[in-house]
């Protein structure tokens, strides 16, 4: 689910990001996907419920190797860039330069962190471009280079504007409270993440994609989704159901819930409404509703708030050790300087990297619960919830060319959703209503 990723990214990445990842990813946030119409008509007879035709299977295997290589390279390169900024004394040189430009400390800080975002974006651009080229080659993306560069520019502008302000505030806290700054940063991070979740769907998302009420073009579908609303008790009326014109950029399938409070809404990609049967869209909607009904958002926020207390403490100690060990060589005296603040970002990045499996394990657990909830939510509303779920997962996997047999270690470390293979296999065997039983979340 996209909103769970937003929560994690907003909390853990608050030092680095002012905007979120866009929803189009290799492992989509939607519980929808199958290898064509026939897979949805008949339940698979083999142990493997997720299938790809031979030509797409070969492409999926190759594409997922490329995805993994790019992700590993991107992670290592991101850490290397931070290290190089410190080790080559570029950070110290940039701080000296902004001090010569102006005497106003807040302007110095804004200039310094704006430069940091620009350099970071420039360093990641080649790998990002390779990723986009690969996505275009495999027909996952249909966005032209002009539009893609435009989105990159928007992301950079948002990072420079909002990210620089956030880092300016945090670096000021580190400077004025050299002993307890990590506590203050921890106390501010979660409220900032919550605020970001609220404003993202109405401020950030419209800058990158076009949205319209789902009822405008899919009134009959909205009527069916209202049946799921009645069954689940979620507060998502028709005016909070939106269609995103994803087909202008992607051939992938996706849907998500986003926002919080007054901005809470369900968003369906037009690629999904155009290519999925209504029964499968109802399953998708049931899955996404499960995230709200099962309180996954507050649970994730609470767990991560506790975890981040120790993350900030450990990262602060690590950053202070680096300054003590390498500060003279890097021309950095304290973590409280602007260049020194980058050591804290570097420390957080390293700690975050090693905590990736823990965050993804939690996310996979919530996604599995939502899969179960979605399948139960459509029981009695569609002819066969099992077939609907299996077909939906196959459509998702085929659209994104997901690996039908991912390496378990890669899945453990890198997947924030269970693999399509595991999701489809579970759906194929989940029938709690057999012999008069009932589901885990519904009494009938």
Question: Of 273, 253, 198, 286, whose CA–CA distance to 399 is shortest?
Answer: 253
**For the chain, how far is it from start to end, CA to CA, in angstroms?**
26
Confirm whether 443 is domain-assigned.
Answer: no
Per-residue pLDDT band at 435 (split at 50, 70, 90)? confident
Confirm whether 24 is domain-assigned.
Answer: no
Confirm whether 438 is domain-assigned.
Answer: no
Confirm whether 384 is domain-assigned.
Answer: yes
Per-residue pLDDT band at 8 (split at 50, 70, 90)? very low
Residue 42 neighbours by CB distance under 10 Å: 10
Residue 38 neighbours by CB distance under 10 Å: 11
Pure H helices in 159-180: 164-176
**Range 354-359, long-range pairs (CB < 8 A, 24+ positions):** 355/12, 355/307, 355/311, 356/413, 356/414, 357/412, 357/413, 358/307, 359/8, 359/12, 359/304, 359/416
pLDDT at site 436: 83
Confirm whether 140 is domain-assigned.
Answer: yes
Confirm whether 437 is domain-assigned.
Answer: no
Q: Give the chain's radius of gyration (CA, Å).
A: 23
pTM: 0.87
CA–CA gap between residue 336 and residue 314 (Å, rounded):
16
Confirm whether 149 is domain-assigned.
Answer: yes
Distance of CA 376 to the CA centre of its chain: 25
Q: How many domains does the chain have?
A: 1
Confirm whether 439 is domain-assigned.
Answer: no
For residue range 119-146, list pLDDT tens digits in order: 999 999 999 999 999 999 999 999 999 9
For residue range 394-410, list pLDDT tens digits in order: 999 999 999 999 999 99
pLDDT at site 437: 85
Cβ(370)–Cβ(288) below 8 Å: yes
pLDDT(286) > 80: yes
User: What is the extent of the structural domain holding 418?
Assistant: 2-19+30-430
């Amino acid at each position: 689910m996209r909103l769970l990723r937003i929560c994690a990214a907003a909390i853990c990445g608050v030092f680095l990001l002012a905007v979120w990842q866009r929803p189009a990813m290799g492992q989509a946030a939607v519980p929808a996907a199958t290898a064509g119409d026939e897979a949805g008509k008949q339940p698979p007879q083999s142990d493997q419920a997720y299938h790809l035709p031979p030509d797409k299977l070969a492409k999926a295997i190759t594409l997922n190797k490329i995805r993994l290589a790019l992700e590993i390279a991107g992670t290592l390169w991101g850490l290397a860039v931070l290290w190089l900024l410190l080790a080559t004394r570029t950070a110290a040189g940039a701080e000296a330069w902004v001090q010569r430009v102006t005497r106003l400390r807040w302007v110095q800080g804004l200039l310094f962190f704006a430069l940091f975002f620009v350099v970071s974006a420039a360093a990641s651009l080649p790998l990002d471009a390779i990723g986009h080229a690969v996505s275009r080659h495999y027909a996952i993306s249909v966005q032209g280079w002009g539009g893609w560069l435009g989105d990159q520019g928007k992301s950079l502008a948002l990072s420079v504007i909002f990210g620089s302000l956030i880092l300016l505030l945090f670096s000021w806290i580190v400077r004025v409270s050299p002993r307890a700054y990590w506590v203050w940063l921890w106390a501010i991070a979660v409220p900032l993440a919550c605020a970001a979740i609220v404003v993202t769907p109405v401020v950030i998302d419209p800058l990158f994609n076009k949205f319209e009420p789902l009822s405008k073009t899919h009134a009959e579908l909205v009527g069916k989704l209202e049946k799921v609303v009645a069954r689940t008790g979620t507060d998502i009326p028709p005016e909070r159901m939106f269609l995103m014109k994803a087909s202008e950029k992607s051939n992938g399938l996706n849907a998500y819930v986003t926002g919080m409070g007054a901005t809470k809404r369900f968003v369906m990609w037009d690629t999904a409404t155009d290519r999925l049967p209504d029964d499968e869209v109802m399953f998708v909607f049931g899955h996404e509703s499960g995230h709200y009904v099962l309180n996954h958002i507050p649970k994730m926020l609470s767990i991560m708030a506790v975890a981040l207390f120790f993350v900030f403490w450990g990262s602060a100690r690590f950053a202070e050790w680096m300054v003590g060990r390498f500060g003279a060589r890097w021309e950095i005296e304290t973590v409280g300087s602007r260049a020194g603040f980058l050591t804290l970002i570097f420390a957080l990045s390293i700690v975050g990297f090693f905590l990736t499996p823990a965050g993804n394990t939690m996310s996979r657990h919530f996604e599995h619960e939502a899969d179960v909830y979605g399948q139960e939510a459509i029981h009695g509303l569609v002819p066969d919830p099992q077939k609907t779920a299996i077909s939906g997962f196959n459509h998702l996997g085929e659209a994104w060319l997901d690996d039908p047999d991912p390496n378990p270690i890669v899945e453990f470390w890198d997947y924030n959703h269970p693999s399509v293979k595991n999701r489809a296999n579970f759906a194929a065997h989940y029938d709690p209503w057999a012999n008069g039983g009932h589901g885990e979340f519904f009494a009938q």
